[in-house]
Structure 1
């Protein structure tokens, strides 16, 4: 294993993971998308309830008066958390700085999450929609906070004495995987898992550097995929067995983690100009060439990606089982992890384009949901 020591011993996470320390055998190669015409978009046109909706709106349906970005969605697609500079999204919205909101799609209601500081990074909503993790500046450091959606109240600061970032939540919001950085000499960082109910913290791995690293936790909180930003390797830690596996690498011996699916079955990573989806039951990789993977749905079947060819659509959803693609957005748009609901039904994204929905005249970045059925 290059440049990294196992947390304990040299066991693998699961016997089915690849035994070698280089990239697993690629058993399936799916073509990248070259143009919109080649895609299967039948579900959008024919299925009831399909379409695009702007959700960064005021209670009366008016468009937001400030930029809204960085959205994540629950597994059932009901709730979306996002950041916004708009001042008219809720009746009690303070006319100050960027805040975090949760939109309940079923109730057509937007809630302001209370936090004493401004969000510095995208918020993350738990799979069940009960909790939202966010960050904010606290004195000289970046701290992570957890808020309960039903009350809008902040449960607590989950990063004592450090700067914390890159949060990933378990499905029930109990486990918080994050990067904790020690900014004072000697500078270093660690991947950790915080159980806020039990008030305990586990160290997944501690690095002797502060090069960008990040974790992604499975829905049950058992598996933590994480990236070593310095060696450009991806590893997986099994919290139950206390074992690590890896490195997961691309052909270029470099890998960048996207995320682990919430069911723990797939790990998405980037290598070179391509995206790989590793099946954790077989240890094999599925190659999706010439695209940048952005997110995977909780079941591990649907991959959201951005084609490297910028002459076509900006966001595409791929069914990894059938190899078919569906357009999420033809206009310039952006999305991150945890932006696809289970079964690939919904995709949340943000865009400054003014022709995604009718009547978009605010000249701001808005948050949208594309529903496929």
Structure 2
């Protein structure tokens, strides 16, 4: 088995396979230090935690992860909070930075005897309809490499070799939501004890705690502007304006250690299986960060595929592999629907024309329903945490 990519999907898949005695190798383009320090998402759904626990992969997050179950909305009509851990299915998130989770998964994979090749870039996957597909790679020393296996799992993202190698018949559903965020990682303690969603006429702003000393912020941003176009002071001023700091308390400022520009896009590949090639994680579908679903979907898909591969390779039962695509696409499309709903909730047109006023009035009504309706709050909680 060849696994492309050492993110959450690839490492969860690799760990489960190795634990079940299935030989596999993970090919990763980046170096080991980069893999262990790539800052990404940090909110793990309850089902994700259960999957990790079931496979002996939750030791770190159980020691250092923090339960979280509150979000706060700030709007022109004031602010309100939802204790979503007490609503819907009554399940919280666990806050655990993705780089810490990946580091845990990598350590466990190597302890179990898993083979990983850092600095090895997969270039293409060939003969996916044959019995022994080939992965053409560029090794760390620049030499070409060739890897053959019974199956290949593409866990290498939207720009990886797996997607580039898809045969005719693959369908990509794509939507550009027309919204851009500036993603920020600040060396600053959290300013709220909740996830903060601020809706403002100048655009969205978001606050997500990562640790006691690091906070993730998002700021709706001009499409096409570089990440360093604004000074740190301007960013903090804009965050305080949109989060209504004068009304609800100042933000705790600090140095920005990471900036990135995120165009909110969604896409889904169908099917997720092409012969001996399987798509997992961001390679299977890209989801906007508005609802913290990406890493959770990746772990779920990896676990589903691992079970199916184990059944096929150890017991000769191919039914799980045959059902993999349809089963995971059901979860992906439900997550996409909620993410799309969140984008509409948090962003509105900035114009003063009749259509913009109409859409912003609808958005305001949705927020009012979320503030006052228990059934709407239960629906939100179930979909916010669930995958």
**CA radius of gyration, larger in:** 2
Give the TM-score, by structure 2 length: 0.25
More helix by share: 2
More strand by share: 1
Give the TM-score, by structure 1 length: 0.26
